Amino acid sequence: MGTKALIIVDVQPTFCEGGELGVAGGNAVAERIAAYVNANRGDYAYIATTQDWHIVPGAHFSEHPDFVDSWPPHGVAGTPNADLHPAITALNIQHHFKKGQYSAAYSGFEGIEDNSDRQQSRSEVRIALEQGHTLANALKTAGITDVDVVGIAESHCVKETALDAVRLGYHTRVFTDLTVPVSAELGEQARREMATAGVELIESGQAD
């Protein structure tokens, strides 16, 4: 096994039960991820979270969403539901990537590292991207070869993050017990797509 990173995707109240786009099982997944990190933290050279952090994301938000390309407001920057889930906050992870400030963003690789809670301007986000404050550069700097992906939702942002990790050449795994899809049907579709792309789908208890 190479040098491993763990990416915790969008484990935020906005995507858990009671949130604007709550996914059934979200809170339980958050607790399972926290337990996994506490038990296996030493196996990882790098751990990061991603968050939807929407400021003015354009057509990504809609009063009449199609739930494919447009959605009700969610992950609104600066609101409690856009914060990390309390179970994840308690882990005191050092690296946080915020995405979707001014556009749609599904993959964690579209975000910028931002450990503050303030709302950055368009120009600040653009400069951060130009300067390479990205997940891809962070993994490269850390000498990562293998990426494990967990979080919410399996059918959307977890899938897109895992697919980008594979495209960048990382041996990529998604822990199926540490993620949850929007629906069973979309979950099956996402797993087929990830497997076809070369993502390894296993339960966390099978990980070495």
The active-site residue, picked from 114, 157, 159, 164, is 157
The CB density around residue 93, as the number of other CB atoms within 10 Å, is: 17
State the alpha helices, DSSP H only, in the chain: 26-40, 86-89, 122-130, 135-141, 159-167, 184-197
Tracing tokens 């994301």 back to the chain, one arrives at: 57
H helix count then E strand count, the chain: 6, 7
Q: Of the residues 4, 98, 99, 159, which is catalytic? A: 99
Which member of 10, 114, 146, 164 is catalytic?
10
Are 8 and 47 in contact by the 8 Å Cβ rule? The answer is yes
Distance (Å) of CA 191 to CA 131, 177, 185, 187: 34, 13, 10, 6
Sheet holding 95-99, edge to edge: 112-113, 95-99, 46-52, 4-9, 146-152, 171-180, 200-202
Active site residue 16: no
Residue-wise DSSP of 120-135: --HHHHHHHHHTT-SH
Rg (CA), the chain: 16
> Taking a C-beta distance cutoff of 8 angstroms, is the pair 119, 55 a contact?
yes
Q: Is 157 designated active site?
A: yes
CB atoms near residue 118 (< 10 Å): 9
Query: Which residues are marked as active site?
Result: 10, 99, 157
